[in-house]
Amino acid sequence: MEVAIESSWKQELNDEFEKPYFKQIVHFLKEEKKAGKVIYPPGKQIFNAFEYTPFDKVKVVIIGQDPYHNPGQAHGLSFSVPDGVAPPPSLVNIFKELRDDLEIPIPNTGNLEKWAKQGVLLLNASLTVVASTPMSHSGIGWHIFTDEVIKHISNDKSNVVFLLWGKFAQNKEALIDTAKHKVLKAAHPSPLSAYNGFFGCRHFSKANAWLREAGEKPVDWSVG
């Protein structure tokens, strides 16, 4: 089955696209569209995280749960929104922690493409969602696929930093070889939990310290 995904990922994940669960995802999405449902992000942006961050460039992974479900927000990168769209509350808190950690001024855009182009894989566990219906596609097979993505990174790369924010993301630690990679855990940046350990986690400076130690180029965490 032909899947439009960046070439290095296509090679790495080739077997997944032929598996029954992935074919079922494709069939399900087609049926949803036929039924008139609005799905985010738009079709060409579903694999944007892979497009912006080829497999051989991955140095940091930030795991989100679900794409944004309001119009114009989701564009295939976890926590990110396109230029001109107001940053949602969790992203605002991410920017506050960046300011406190690295003295990076809060930006006027929520577009994190600059991170992605430097090797920060902004991966949602589900890659699609129905408009106005959070978690609506969490049971269609995406979690199988994105768990495989994490396993491939863990098995076939070294010295990657995984930023696991909140219990959902932290459950993915079981997929990661912590002898080869660095796992940093904190509360989710949501306003409901950010004060329980996200603020003050200093994950951005810690990630860069680990990358330098491993001989990798640190990430410029400024945005825009």
Residue type, 192: L
Average the pLDDT over 83-107 and give the result: 98
Question: Which of the following is catalytic: 15, 66, 100, 177?
Answer: 66
**Is residue 224 pLDDT above 90, yes or no?**
no
What pTM, to 2 d.p., does this model score?
0.98
Strand arrangement of the beta sheet that strand 120-124 belongs to: 120-124, 60-64, 161-165, 182-186
Q: pLDDT per residue over 41-73, tens digit each? A: 999 999 999 999 999 999 999 999 999 999 999
Q: pLDDT per residue over 31-45, tens digit each? A: 999 999 999 999 999
66 carries an active-site annotation = yes
What interhelical angle do 20-34 and 142-156 show, nearest 10? 140
Angle at 203 between CA 126 and CA 41, to 5 degrees: 25
Q: Half-sphere exposure of 39 toward its Cβ, with a 13 Å CA cutoff?
A: 23
The band of 4, judged by pLDDT with boundaries at 50, 70 and 90, is confident
